[in-house]
Structure formats: C-alpha cells, structure tokens
Structure 1
Amino acid sequence: MSSNKSDRSWGTLWNPNFGAFAALLILYVANAIFTPRFATVSNTLNMLLQVSTTMLIAVGMTFVIASRGIDLTVGSTMALVSVIVALLIKYGMTVAILFALSAALLVGLINGFLISRLKLDALITTLAALILWRGIAQVVGDGKLVPFVNPTFEALGKGYLGSIPIQVVIAAIAIAAAFFCIRSTLFGRHIVAVGGNEEAARLAGIRAERVKYIVYIISALLAGVAGLVETARLGMGDPSKVGVNAEFDAIAAVVVGGTPFSGGRANVLGTVVGALLMQVISTSFNMLLIPFTWSLVLKSVIILFAIFLQRPREV
C-alpha cells in the first residue's frame, strides 16, 4: 500500500507537464551559479544551435510514439539525405533538396507500409531499416566525405535571421506546426486515439493504418530536414557520421518530455523541454571538463526514471 502511494507521489512530481520543465530549470540555474560562462547569451544560442536538429527529429518521433510505434531510422535517413544533397548540389539547390527529401519520403513510405500494412513489429522493422539505409548512404557516397561549396544552401546551417540562427527558426516552425496539429486538428486526435487503443479507434471509424502511414512519413521528412540542416552546417555530406545516435537523442527527448512508450498521449512542448534538458546536461559536462561518457550515464538514468514513472500501475 505504501509502495503504491510512493509511486503516485513520484508520478505527481514527474508530471508530463511539470517534471521535465522543473528538472531543466533546476539544472540551468545550478549551472548558471556553478559553471563559468554558462548563462551567457552566446552559450545559450550555441545550445539552441546544437539541439535544433534533435528537436526536429524528436517532433516527428513524438507523433510516432504517440501512435504506439517507434522509428529507429531517423539517423540513417539523415545520413542518406546528407550524401544525396551533397552529391546533387552541383545541379542546383532546388534539385538537390527535392531529391534528398524524396529519399526521406521513400524511407517513410516503406516504414509505413511494412508496419501498418504488413503488420510487422515496428522496433524490429526500423532496426533493420536503420542498418539498411545507413548502408545505402555509404554505398551512394562511396564511404567518403562529399564536400561542396554552395553559400545559399549552407545558410540553412550557418546563416542567421536577424540575431537568430536559421536552423533554430526551422526547428521552431516545426514545433509550432506539430503543436497545432496535435492540439487543434482531427488528425492529431486520431494519432492519440490509435496509440491509446487501436481496435477501439477502428471501431470508431478511424483508419488506423492510414494514421500510421502518415506518422512515419512525417518522422522521415523531419529527419530529412534535419539531415539538410546538418549537412549545410558541416559544408559536406557524411554518410558515416551524420545522424549517428540521433534516434537515441530523439527517443530520450520524447520519453523524458512525457509522451509514454505505451502511446495514447502526445506532448510536443514536453519533447522540446526534454531535448533542452539533454542538451543542458551535455553542455554543462563539457564546460566542466567532465568526460562525455558520464553525461550518457546521467541521461540514461533520467530516461529509465521517466519510463519507471510511466509504467502501468496495478489497480
């Protein structure tokens, strides 16, 4: 009995609308006090720059997890987009971006088909696809870096809109669109319904397969945009390194932000807070000269704690 009360008290503390934000605020204030030059405008902008691609893929991952799925292909999609846009940029920025995003769309379509139509397990399917698309990216790029020079395209990753980095603006637009979709559209309600109880959603007239198709396409396209931004920032395509562990960062942000693996709820703003929380941890460890591996340990503990609190409770 006391154990159940303890679980409920911890669950209240880590409320999806409060816990991650409270942890972020505490960490930021603590670092502002104890970490030199942490709470400066330049460092804050730098953190936003570093986390913007994670936010893009995490927004797409929020849709997928809310529908009770998972997408491990986002990092490989970034790599595929990276090498395609770098190889084709000599034919013009528009052509390169269209072909690169078409490749991302293909990834989403195949994921959606295998999972929604053929009823394959999402975890195993996207794990296999992760390896497949990373391999294809390396074959297309011949396993090498693909440098290019195109100042207009590179502005996506290096330019500013006023004093705000363009990639931060792109992430903000994606976040705002996702928030509106989940909170104010019929499709957003369908995602939550399918994730909560797919059979009940079908009985209510919701086309669950179509919903799953679309969320995997959204996830892939946002990963594609993240790949474009990262490639523009680097000034080269990199089939081996772009997007490595991106799926881990995205899933961490989503789960810590309050969207449960069991589906049925989508917290876009929580995902943003979760991504910022993970970035604050990485930045603070780096500035304090603590080995990066220790930041991974802390992140893993936070993720496990969030999952523990989201587990089904016995009645």
Structure 2
Amino acid sequence: MSATTVSGRLPQKARVLKDIQNYGVYLALVVLIVVAVALNTSFLSASNLRVQLFQLSPTLLVALGMALVIGTEGIDLSVGATIALSAAVLPLYLGYGLGAALALALLIGAVAGAIGGSMVAFARVQPIVATLSLMIGLRGVAELINGDAAKPVTAQSLLSLGGNSAAGVPWMAWVAIVAAAVVAVVMRRTTFGRQLVAIGDNRQAARLAGLPVRRVLVTVYVISGILAALAGVLVVGHGAEADPANQGLNMELDAITAVVVGGTPLSGGRVRVLGTVAGALFMQLISAVLTQHDVHTSYTQIIEAAIICGAVYVSRERGSR
C-alpha cells in the first residue's frame, strides 16, 4: 500500500470521528425516536412526553453542572448526595415559605460545592477523591437530619412546582430549559466560559497566563452544587416526600453519562451544552423505550454500558489527537 493511500485514509478517519463527536448524539437521538414511534405509536403522545420530561429534568440540571466541572478536567461525585441533603433540609423550613426554603437548599448546594472546589483548587486534592469524600459525608448528614423513614411534604407551593405545567410543559422542565440556556450563554459569551475552557485544556499554561485558576475552579464546583440542590428541590416537589436514603442515588453516574454521550471529553478543554441536553434526553428515552417493552433491567444496564463505552472511546480518540 502506498504512502499516499495511507496518508489519505488517516484524514478521512479523523473527519469521520470528528463528525461523530459533533453530531453523533443528535443522529442517535433522531434514530431512537423513529424506532420508538415505530414500536409504539403513542410514544409521542402528550401524556408520555410529560412523563419523560418529569424524569429528565433533575438529571439534566445535574448534568449541566457536571459538564462545567468536566470541562475543567474534573469530576463531581457529590451531586447525588447534595440532592439528598437539600431534600432533607427543605421540609424543615417550608413553614417559612417556599422562597426561604428554596434559598436555604441552594445555599447548602453552594457550600457543598465550595468545599469540594476548595479541596481541588487550594489543597490540590484529586477531584475524584475530594468529591467522593463529600459524597459519603453529605449523604450521611442527610440521613441524620431526615431519620430512617421518608417524610411526606404537603406544601402546595412546592408540589405545584414539582407537578404542575405551563403551556403543556412541566414547570420542572421549564426550570431545566432556563438553566441550559443560561449555561450556554455563559460558555459562549462570557470571559468566565473562555477561562473555564482554557483551564481544562491546560491548567499550567492557564496559570502562567495569569488566569484566576483557583477562583474559576471553585466557582465551577459551586455552580454544580447549586444545580444539584435545585434538582433536589424538584425531586421532592414531584415525589411529595423527602427521602435522602434513596433520592439522588446514582445521579452522579447519570449526569456523567449524559455529559460524555453528549460529546464533552473527560480530558477537559471543551463543554458541549446542547450536546449534554441531547445526551441526557437520549439516555432517558432509551431507558423508557426498553422499560416500556419489558426489557429486563439487566439487559438495559448492558446496553447503556455499551453506549457509554462507545462515547468514551470517541472522546479518547479526540484527546489522543
């Protein structure tokens, strides 16, 4: 084989990989929807779409924060526990009004994120270690506050936020849509977004260039904590109970999956907000399709694992180039 043929094939492979990275999740989402409709003509019914949006919204909120963290070449394993802690605290202060309880829940998320971010930025602890310790500790605090049994929530203002709709779209979904729009603007139009990407691409170079590396890192983890706490508020409002022992479990894995499938590389240096939205939607719909057709949970997990491995492989190819 001639050198010209080899050199001609390599760019073609690179172009194919780039197209998969940029557009693969959107194509996969379209194919999935077509298959789902072919198997079940009522899949796109208003009632089914509302159910999917209810289930998608908390995961999407957490995934948006996770995308920012991964963009800095970090990881946040504490988001599920942050959901649990905000869920535990929220019912205790609903008597002061939804605004006060919501503010406290978000403050807790911000503090949790600040602790994790400070460990990463100032103590230079590996993100997976820092947030793993937080994951364990915050979940324990949440269970101590809430007790062994789930606590019912009867505040109508919170139940309305978690269960009502506007223009046929659940309020939960509107919250997630607004959050996605804000994150997209931050990443595309602000200095902070450019600094975040630069830090994820090469932290040492960003430090030498005079960028506020520590401040950006802490801020990113704070944002992740706030979005996780907001997801916890929505989970409590939708489920009408606070159950920190179960709420938020494995949410960090769902969020990481959505981010990776959406095309954000684990090596940092890039954040794909729209891709994260599409990734979260894709994983939600594929789980729903398999569940609706009585596919055993074991097979569902195997299929999802294969999708994650494929997405990580494509991400690795980007990093290797």
- TM-score category (smaller protein): over 0.9
Matched, 1:241 2:278: no
Matched, 1:107 2:73: no
Task: Write the letter of the residue equivalent to 1:193.
Answer: A
Deviates more, 1:86-95 or 1:53-62: 86-95
- The answer to whether the 8 A contact 2:105-2:230 is kept is no
Give the unaligned 5+ runs of structure 2.
1-5
What's the secondary structure of 1:69's corresponding residue? coil
* Cα distance in 1, alignment partners of residues 272 and 233 from structure 2: 25
Matched, 1:206 2:211: yes
- The answer to whether the 8 A contact 1:89-1:148 is kept is no
Map 1:133-152 to 2 at 5 A: 133-152=138-157
Q: What is the match of residue 224 of structure 1?
A: 229
* Cα distance in 2, alignment partners of residues 13 and 112 from structure 1: 34
Map 1:37-186 to 2 at 5 A: 37-186=42-191
Change (3 A) 1:288 1:57: same
- The answer to whether the 8 A contact 1:66-1:259 is kept is yes
* Cα distance in 2, alignment partners of residues 186 and 250 from structure 1: 25
Q: Following TM superposition, by how much is the alpha carbon of 1:4 offset from its aligned partner in structure 2, in angstroms? A: 5.8
Task: Write the letter of the residue equivalent to 2:263.
Answer: G
Q: Following TM superposition, by how much is the alpha carbon of 1:13 offset from its aligned partner in structure 2, in angstroms? A: 4.4
Task: Write the letter of the residue equivalent to 2:227.
Answer: L
Q: RMSD across aligned C-alpha pairs, in angstroms?
A: 1.7
Task: Write the letter of the residue equivalent to 2:233.
Answer: L
Q: TM-score, normalised by structure 1?
A: 0.95
Matched, 1:34 2:39: yes
Q: Among the aligned pairs, what percent are the same residue? A: 36
Matched, 1:11 2:26: no
* Cα distance in 2, alignment partners of residues 91 and 56 from structure 1: 25
Change (3 A) 1:269 1:84: same
* Cα distance in 2, alignment partners of residues 252 and 6 from structure 1: 28
What's the secondary structure of 1:24's corresponding residue? helix
Matched, 1:261 2:266: yes
Q: Following TM superposition, by how much is the alpha carbon of 1:74 offset from its aligned partner in structure 2, in angstroms? A: 0.5
Change (3 A) 1:92 1:255: same
Deviates more, 1:142-151 or 1:209-218: 142-151
Q: Following TM superposition, by how much is the alpha carbon of 1:148 offset from its aligned partner in structure 2, in angstroms? A: 2.3
